A and B are shown apart, each in its own frame.
Chain A
Amino acid sequence: MTDKLEIKHTGRVWKFGDQINTDLIMPSASFRLSEKDRAKMAFSAIRPGWAAGVQPGDILIGGQNFGLGSGRPVGSVLRMCGIVGLVAESINGLCLRNCVNYSLPGIDCPGISAAFEEGDIARVDFITGKVENVTRNTTLQGKPLVTLLAEIVVSGGVIPMLIREGYVETEPTDATSD
């Protein structure tokens, strides 16, 4: 299984700084909105209108301790925005779970912040940890995504796996608002 795993993405990068927390990615005020409307509020406290500028396939670059905070499903929000991968100086453990479990790969890569300007094109191999700045023709070595986590990403995330294995119902049961 291991040698067949492949998670590679090439895309335009959005750059964020250190200590980006979950409440910035998914504000409490967005909890009760639809998944689509929730995504529109991503980073609205620090970069209003950001979500509208994301194109499917873009890559997010973060600083130290990216995603510190609560258990909210930030991976689902970022994917809904169009982000396909996350590379940061360091990713908070809970945030990484909540990315990988929603099939959004994420790796730590010390030096990433200095190596990229916003809008550069990154080519990231999440299995080997190799991160290339295509625009500037430089390469960094990040920490590879460990096998079990890579398998979850490739399988489409935990909930699709649970659906396929017959543990949960196919469609979500959404709370009604009327």
Chain B
Amino acid sequence: MGQTSIEKILARTSGKDVVRPGDIAVCRPDIVVQADLFLAMAGAWHRPKKVFDPDRIVQIFDHAIPAPTIKDASGMVEARRFAKQFGLKQVFDIGAHGISHVIVAEHGLARPGELLVCSDSHTCASGAFNCAGRGIGLSDLLQALTKGLVWYPVSPTIRYEFKGSLPPVVSGKDVFFHIAHTYGAHTNTSLEFGGPGLKALDMSARRTIATMCAEVGAEFALFESDEITSDYLKSRSERPVTPANPDKDADYLDVRSVDLGDVEPYVILPHSVPKNGVRLSVFDKNIVINQAFVGSCANGQIEDLRVVAKILQGRKVARDVRFIITPGSQAIYLQAAREGLLTTLVEAGAVVTNATCGACYGGHMGLVGPGEVCITASTRNFKGRMGSAEADIYMGSPATVAASAVTGIITDPRKVMPLNA
């Protein structure tokens, strides 16, 4: 019997020919990413006395940069000391910073067929590049940094076969919502994405979908590697790669077909994602919003900013709505400036912030207060996620959020087409 994409990577990195669901794979990572957050957390960081391979360790500051508290600043002093002590070469400190999964993508650090370790739950983002990654904890990270080892239970895999292509205005985010709403939680299963419709999903859409798979409780979420993958990596990584595409006779828990042409814009209702969505075409509630947010590892990409700017062009953010937009990295910020997007966004009355995890996790800025309503194109809508536990967080695509920011109520973006279209 053949193997799925994820089984192939876990087998190779654990030195086995084959792994099967139920096994525990003890793997050697190809790359380990350290972020800032845990260094500011009491009792969490024990200084490593040795590291497994400084050339395979990447340090990225994202959750609290620039530092909002002395504790965060102090954590980053320790992070810089650690990087110097072991001669880390791949350090993305302030000025070169961005959300870790975005920096990883931009610099070609998530490579097909490889295993990436990072202590953030949205590490499944690397699956867009056929690179295995899943969230781990700080103690896992310490073990990976020092011993170069990390364990994973091998889970059964569900395969999604895409066909067709996306209708206008419908995005990768809506594709994820469609899957999450239709099939619900995917606890302790890995996901694999392929099929003839894959070519209709650009890298931006794939990155959004892979990143969001954490929200349905998936283990790994891997896209097959194709020409779009290799084109994206061409200018970003020189190291030859060996994609881990599945065998024809791989064993799946289930194979599900998704016709992209059937996907519509969704809104996800407050407090959880699985089976909690409504197609906007039948959403009949009049939900007045106080805040709109576009950003995070899922939707802080340049493509997301372009979508938002297109809708805001020549319009104003509604009265009493705060529209916060966070580019995913310094490079995206610069690109948005070059394309004139920042001008459009600011002229419309939106706030464009520094590149950080920031408002998405309610840890840095842009928090919501009691009784407020936010619609967000980020990763999570848990109670209290973006500030007050008394706030309601709805989720939508960047287009849905931008359309809602303009009207002041949750709005189907197809009703607010660009003025210059």
Q: Which residues of A contact B (CB under 8 A)?
A: 19, 21-24, 27-29, 31-35, 38, 45-46, 64-65, 68-73, 75-76, 90-94, 97-98, 101-102, 146, 148-149, 157-159, 162-163, 165-178
Instruction: Pick the interface stretch among B90-98, B140-148, B156-164, B169-177.
Output: B140-148
Per a CB cutoff under 8 Å, which of B119, B185, B272, B385 touches A71? B119
CB distance from A132 to the nearest CB of B (A): 24
Q: Which residues of B contact A (CB under 8 A)?
A: 24, 26, 37, 39-50, 69-72, 74-75, 78, 119-121, 134-140, 142-143, 146-147, 151, 153, 155, 185, 187-188, 214-215, 217, 219, 272, 274, 361-363, 380, 382-385, 389
**Taking A93-B217, A167-B50 as contacts, is the C-beta distance between A162 and B143 under 8 angstroms?**
yes
Taking a contact as CB atoms under 8 Å apart, the answer to whether B46 and A45 are in contact is: no
CB distance from A5 to the nearest CB of B (A): 15
Taking a contact as CB atoms under 8 Å apart, the answer to whether B136 and A176 are in contact is: no
Taking a contact as CB atoms under 8 Å apart, the answer to whether B140 and A101 are in contact is: yes
**Taking A31-B363, A146-B153, A148-B24 as contacts, is the C-beta distance between A175 and B39 under 8 angstroms?**
yes
Per a CB cutoff under 8 Å, which of A35, A101, A171 touches B137? A101
Q: Which one of B121, B272, B362 has the greatest number of beta carbons of chain A within 10 Å?
A: B121
Contacts of A171 in B (CB 8 A): 46
CB distance from A25 to the nearest CB of B (A): 11
Q: Which one of A21, A71, A169 has the greatest number of beta carbons of chain B within 10 Å?
A: A71
Per a CB cutoff under 8 Å, which of A91, A97, A166 touches B49? A166
Taking a contact as CB atoms under 8 Å apart, the answer to whether B382 and A24 are in contact is: yes
Could you show 29 A-B contacts with beta carbons less than 8 Å apart?
A19-B185, A22-B121, A23-B380, A24-B383, A28-B362, A28-B385, A31-B37, A32-B41, A34-B42, A35-B42, A64-B185, A68-B215, A69-B382, A90-B187, A92-B217, A93-B155, A158-B142, A159-B142, A162-B46, A162-B143, A167-B146, A169-B49, A171-B46, A172-B42, A173-B78, A174-B42, A175-B72, A177-B70, A178-B70
A71 to B382 Cα, complex, angstroms: 14
